[in-house]
Each structure stands twice: as structure tokens, then as C-alpha cells.
Amino acid sequence: MITKLGKNLPVFGERQSYLSNMIKFITVNDLLDVRSHVLRGGTPRRECIFPTDNWPGAFHLGYYLNDELACIASFHPQNYGEFMGTGYQLRGMATIEQYRGQGLGNQLLNFAIVLLRGQKANYMWCNARKSAVQFYLNMGFELVSAEFEVPVIGTHYVMYVKIQ
């Protein structure tokens, strides 16, 4: 660390915490442990791969906090119902329990929305777990379906947010 004009400046190559707290594009392999633990109750990794994970246009984001993958989400092009334009489905959003309530999911989702706006996507939608509905409402999503059951996982709702 160098002090200049009363400010601490990073030295090239010196590890700084702000560099280890960031959103990154990640691979399916990177996210499988979190997906398995948080969303599937420890189901084997190979059973946590979604058919859409490697679709053309799909991408995965991870929020790293202190060099630990703390929050994940997957996105792929997929229209929903009668909505017009290009849609993306959000799947598998999860935050490790110890990091919940710190705004990581909010930042990750906002990053994705800005990215997709730049890609000219019109909307994003998801099948939200009942326990996550308030989070998505706070992010500007709207409920667009009645509740439905996903076998083994639980009650869900389809939610939507306009991107542009």
C-alpha cells in the first residue's frame, strides 16, 4: 500500500479486498456446488445440471465475496407466453446462507439486467420459489401466474420484469 495525498493506493500485484468482491462470468462446473447445496439439498452435482445450461446464448454469473463463490444465477434465451420481444429465463439463483441479506443477489441480478439490456433483451422471467417471491417483487418483478408445484422442490410462481 502506498500513501499519497492522504489516501492509501493499491500497489500493483498487492491483493486488495475490493478485487476479491466481484461479479464474474462463471462456468456450470463453477456453480454446481452452490446449486446442489442451496437449491437441491445436497443432490449430486451431476443431477444439478439444467438442460439449458449450455444452450447458445446461456451465461452464468457468480458473486465472489472474499474469494468465495457466494451467489449464483444462470440465464438463457427463452421466451415466455405471449410476451413480445426477446426473453431470458433466470434459473438457479442462489445465495449461500451466511451471505444472505447482504444485497449480493440484488447486485448480481442488476448486473444481469444491465447486461441483457445491452444485448437488446426485452424481458426476463423466472419460476420463483414461494420463499423468494418478495425478493423478486423488491427487484421490480411482477407475478404473472398462479402458484404451481415443482415436484420435490415446492411451490413456485412465474415472475416477469421488463428490461426495455
Q: Give the cell for residue 10.
A: 493499491
Query: In DSSP terms, which residues pair with 162 in a beta bridge?
Result: 123
Report the C-alpha gap between 131 and 156 in whole angstroms.
9
pLDDT per residue over 121-162, tens digit each? 999 999 999 999 999 999 999 999 999 999 988 999 999 999
CB atoms within 10 A of CB 57: 13
Q: Which CATH code, of 3.40.630.30, 3.40.50.970, 3.40.190.10, 3.90.870.30, is assigned to 2-162?
A: 3.40.630.30
Q: Is the pLDDT reported for residue 81 higher than 50? A: yes
pTM of the model: 0.86
CB atoms within 10 A of CB 129: 17
Of 132, 135, 126, 131, nearest to 158 (Cα)? 126
Report the C-alpha gap between 55 and 51 in whole angstroms.
8
Q: Which residues 6+ apart lie within 8 Å of 96 measured at CB?
A: 34, 37, 38, 68, 69, 70, 71
Query: In DSSP terms, which residues pair with 108 in a beta bridge?
Result: none
Better pLDDT: 14 or 73 = 73
Torsion angle, alpha carbons of 132, 135, 137, 141, to 10: -80
Report, as an integer, the average pLDDT of 20-27: 90
pLDDT per residue over 36-68, tens digit each? 999 999 999 999 999 999 999 999 999 999 889
Rounded alpha-carbon distances, angstroms, from residue 52 to 15, 42, 45, 88: 36, 21, 15, 11
Q: Where are the chain's structural domains? A: 2-162
Of 53, 117, 125, nearest to 83 (Cα)? 125
What pLDDT does 141 receive? 98
